[in-house]
Chain A
Amino acid sequence: MLQDKTTSRMKPAIALEGISKSFPGVRALAEVSLALYPGSVTALVGENGAGKSTLVKILTGIYQPDEGTIHVDGAETHFPTANAAAKAGVTAIHQETVLFDELSVAENIFLGHAPRTRLGLIDWRRMNADARALLVRVGADLDPSIRLRDLGIASKHLVAIARALSIDARVVIMDEPTAALSHKEIHELYELVDRLKADGKAILFISHKFDEIFRIADRYTVFRDGRMVGEGLIAETTQDDLVRLMVGRDVGQVFPKQDVTIGEPVLTVSGYRHPTEFEDINFELRRGEILGFYGLVGAGRSEFMQALIGITKPSAGAIKLHGEVKVIRSPAEAIEAGIVYVPEERGRQGAIIGLPIFQNVTLPSLSRTSRAGFLRMAEEFALARNYTSRLDLRAASLDQDVGTLSGGNQQKVVIAKWLATRPKVIILDEPTKGIDIGSKAAVHAFMSELAASGLSVIMVSSEIPEIMGMADQVIVMREGRIAGRFERAELTAERLVRAAAGIEEAA
């Protein structure tokens, strides 16, 4: 057990021991332990998929652990519901604050436990007065009666923290609280964290940014692949040590990457910029190549891809396809030019529930399956059959509603849809996010086949093993700019993490 002068005399406010949690096909957490001490900030670091959010959900009563115990002030407890966790004084502040835009600041703070008058009605005067007092404690000079929607993100965070104080929280979880804040707001947040610390709260601070971890945390815990791989005092570690713990040494997973002779340049992007989202994006994509786009969530990768296919308008930049300058103003023009984008949220942006399978497949290719403005069912079926059979889609009939298929098969329909447009460049945004390991391997094998068949692939991914396993060339984005470029031969996990987090390369 670690001892130091802040914690040696103290018992943890909350302690998790031997926590395991599995989902079908995935072991999210394996025998994880974590102790949070009053008046101390513990940083939780780890790659995407390391199990951080699962842990937060267990701490806040949203998930139940399969094994392991939770102790609050030394007494064993369970959090069967989110309410139980809140009653025990555990509260979480998320990246996007979960508050109510149309309610006032005071109502947001006291929703669910508003002070009442003797008649059982809400005591507005007391609620506003109490809200003001809480806001002063978190250093926010806000009028409790204004609507939340009129506040900036930083102020909303303050309201969330005031809410945490109002329910007498003793454990405060901050999940990437600075992801959407400006520099000035970040500094105000640091001061607030210091104040919460002085108040004796136990704080779990989840962040990808090393500078802020070293600025405000007292302790650290590192997760990798659902396991706790290291913990200790921030004062006794370095950025290099943390990076090494995070990425580990072995990739551990075999990727079905085929050897492909990389050919001539297919897509050349130069000087792409957007007023608020990204700038200076230049790269060349060659035939048969898989180009990985790595970066933290919110680094501007998806935003750039959406500009590339004409959903948003870049303010400057040019693309060449096979050496020819192309202007793409809409997704229809992108598809026409041979660039297709398979978006990240397949539920929201993928299959069209209500349309049968074959109509989903042919939707972007209707100009090819119609004559003189009329659709030809026979050609639609032929096209759909051709591509769905290549992907081994399991469905009784191509006429059945795509909504009746399982998630994996829906995804095959979506991929068939894009392949049916006969693209030259296919952009896959987080292609394996949220699917089990078996399906991941199938997607990777398929991606490799695509490249081998002469397609050029852009793979946006936040998972290091996937990037390392599949990409021929990697571009790392950070805060809307290219922060690093690596050929396959020079790829290391540490280099990727450093570039994405903005840490100088060790000499």
Chain B
Amino acid sequence: MKVLLKNREMLLVVAIALLVALIALRFPPFVTPRNLANVYNDTSILIILALGQMAVILTRCIDLSMAANLALSGMVAAMINAAMPGLPIPLIIFVAMALGAVLGSINGLLVWKLDIPPIVVTLGTLTIYRGLIFLLSGGAWINAHQMSDAFKALPRTTLLGFPLLSWLSLVIIALMVVVMRRTPPGRAFFAVGGNPHAAVYTGIDVGRTRFLAYCLSGTLAGLSGYLWVSRYAVAYVDIAAGFELDIIAACVIGGVSIAGGIGSVGGAVLGALFLGVIKNALPVVNISPFAQMAISGMVIIIAVAVNARAERRKGRVILRKAEAAHG
């Protein structure tokens, strides 16, 4: 048990299981497989976004513009679809992702070439991207009837009993595991955040690595833009407003260190799921949305405190006997 609790991911799994069990006591239908699958599907977009954010936070940066990027990419996707309903959906998804990548790369370039603090850069681009949506749409909504059926179908189509949206998020998770664990840029994200000075001497270009992380988060935000608009069948200036905080919260709950260098795909996914469970469960047990926000906030602080304690308690292994016992 002790060994299990030492592992941050296992701790989260236990916490989520406890939470679900607690909810089941009050409202048993919540734990039916069907409903749990729905909760997962509902959390899919947050998972995808949290994985992009994780890459950025690992490099000691932050991306506050993800939700605005999502909204802008989603709006452009919806407008293209409304104007040219015949255009194949994969092409629209590609455009949304490419636009997201461009918006992310703007953040990356500002951080890399102009050396502006990431929080300032993305706070600025957040506002600019939201403003651009207004300029493009003139403030108008694009509603379900303006979108083609194919455009709206993708998140609703099921495959082997699960919605395509869920499958897509699973594919992204798998891809991110490979990127983070098996590619040089993935390794560089950890190195740059863990010790930027040392990373320079090992031949890693710190600025370029951060740029890549922003491109990744931008691309995933662009993809999420299409998914969001298609799922909720509406696009307007304020979609996903404030969602950037949920994304960061998912990472933080999942043990991604805001100081960079520490984090995992599993952690970020579990952090997102934890928030997803809270969001979906609290209404059915009759807790008001305002209490939900307070509970989410408390969970974030508790998670950070637990992580900080884990970091502190570890200590160095100097004693010989401790060295033998370790690992």
Binding site for B on A (CB under 8 A): 309, 311, 330-336, 341, 343, 345, 348-355, 359, 363-364, 366-367, 370, 373-375, 377, 394-397, 399-400, 403-406, 417
CA distance A406 to B178 in the complex (A): 32
Encode contact with A along B315-327: 1 for CB under 8 Å, 0 otherwise: 1111010011111
**Within 8 Å of chain A (Cβ to Cβ): is B26?**
no
Assess the B197–A375 pair: CB atoms within 8 A: no
Closest to A333 in B: B203
Which residues of B179-199 are within 8 A (CB) of A?
A: 181-184, 187, 190-191, 193-195, 197-199
Q: Which of B195, B314, B318 contacts A406 (CB 8 A)?
A: B318
Quote the shortest CB–CB distance from A121 to chain B (angstroms): 34
Assess the B200–A399 pair: CB atoms within 8 A: no
On chain A, the residues within 8 Å of B202 by CB distance are 331, 335, 363-364, 417
* Contact status of A400 and B327, CB under 8 A, knowing A359-B187, A374-B183, A406-B317: yes
CA distance A405 to B200 in the complex (A): 22
Assess the B195–A404 pair: CB atoms within 8 A: no
**Within 8 Å of chain A (Cβ to Cβ): is B222?**
no
* Contact status of A350 and B198, CB under 8 A, knowing A330-B205, A332-B205: yes
Assess the A351–B203 pair: CB atoms within 8 A: no
CA distance A332 to B183 in the complex (A): 17
* Contact status of A403 and B316, CB under 8 A, knowing A373-B184, A375-B182: yes
On chain A, the residues within 8 Å of B182 by CB distance are 374-375, 377
Assess the B184–A352 pair: CB atoms within 8 A: no
Quote the shortest CB–CB distance from A228 to chain B (angstroms): 34
CA distance A397 to B326 in the complex (A): 8
On chain B, the residues within 8 Å of A352 by CB distance are 190-191, 194-195, 198-199, 261
Encode contact with A along B108-121: 1 for CB under 8 Å, 0 otherwise: 00000000000000
Q: Which of A335, A354, A374, A396 contacts B261 (CB 8 A)?
A: A354
**Within 8 Å of chain A (Cβ to Cβ): is B82?**
no
Assess the A404–B317 pair: CB atoms within 8 A: yes
Assess the A349–B190 pair: CB atoms within 8 A: no
Assess the A405–B317 pair: CB atoms within 8 A: yes
**Within 8 Å of chain A (Cβ to Cβ): is B201?**
yes
Q: How many A-B residue pairs have CB under 8 A?
A: 105
Assess the B327–A354 pair: CB atoms within 8 A: no
Quote the shortest CB–CB distance from A258 to chain B (angstroms): 28
Closest to A359 in B: B187
**Within 8 Å of chain A (Cβ to Cβ): is B204?**
yes
On chain A, the residues within 8 Å of B326 by CB distance are 395-397, 400, 404
Q: Which of B187, B205, B316, B320 contacts A405 (CB 8 A)?
A: B316
CA distance A484 to B96 in the complex (A): 64
On chain A, the residues within 8 Å of B178 by CB distance are 374
CA distance A311 to B190 in the complex (A): 21
Which residues of B259-290 are within 8 A (CB) of A?
A: 261-262
Assess the B195–A370 pair: CB atoms within 8 A: no
CA distance A396 to B320 in the complex (A): 10
Quote the shortest CB–CB distance from A77 to chain B (angstroms): 36
On chain A, the residues within 8 Å of B201 by CB distance are 309, 311, 331, 341, 343, 349
Closest to A342 in B: B201
* Contact status of A363 and B204, CB under 8 A, knowing A354-B261, A404-B317: yes
Quote the shortest CB–CB distance from B101 to chain A (angstroms): 18
Quote the shortest CB–CB distance from A306 to chain B (angstroms): 9
Assess the B187–A354 pair: CB atoms within 8 A: no
CA distance A406 to B318 in the complex (A): 5
On chain B, the residues within 8 Å of A377 by CB distance are 182
Given contacts A355-B190, A363-B191, A404-B316, 6 further A-B contacts (CB under 8 A): A334-B203, A352-B261, A354-B193, A395-B323, A399-B327, A405-B316
CA distance A370 to B261 in the complex (A): 21
On chain A, the residues within 8 Å of B184 by CB distance are 366-367, 370, 373, 375
CA distance A311 to B206 in the complex (A): 12
Encode contact with A along B167-184: 1 for CB under 8 Å, 0 otherwise: 000000000001001111
CA distance A222 to B270 in the complex (A): 63
CA distance A345 to B261 in the complex (A): 19
On chain A, the residues within 8 Å of B316 by CB distance are 403-406
Assess the B203–A354 pair: CB atoms within 8 A: no
The 19 listed contacts between A and B (C-beta, < 8 Å) are: A309-B201, A330-B205, A332-B205, A336-B203, A349-B195, A352-B194, A352-B261, A354-B261, A354-B262, A363-B187, A363-B202, A364-B203, A366-B187, A395-B326, A396-B327, A404-B315, A404-B316, A404-B326, A406-B317
CA distance A336 to B203 in the complex (A): 9
On chain A, the residues within 8 Å of B194 by CB distance are 352-355
CA distance A343 to B193 in the complex (A): 19
On chain A, the residues within 8 Å of B324 by CB distance are 396
CA distance A341 to B182 in the complex (A): 26
On chain A, the residues within 8 Å of B262 by CB distance are 354
Assess the B203–A330 pair: CB atoms within 8 A: yes
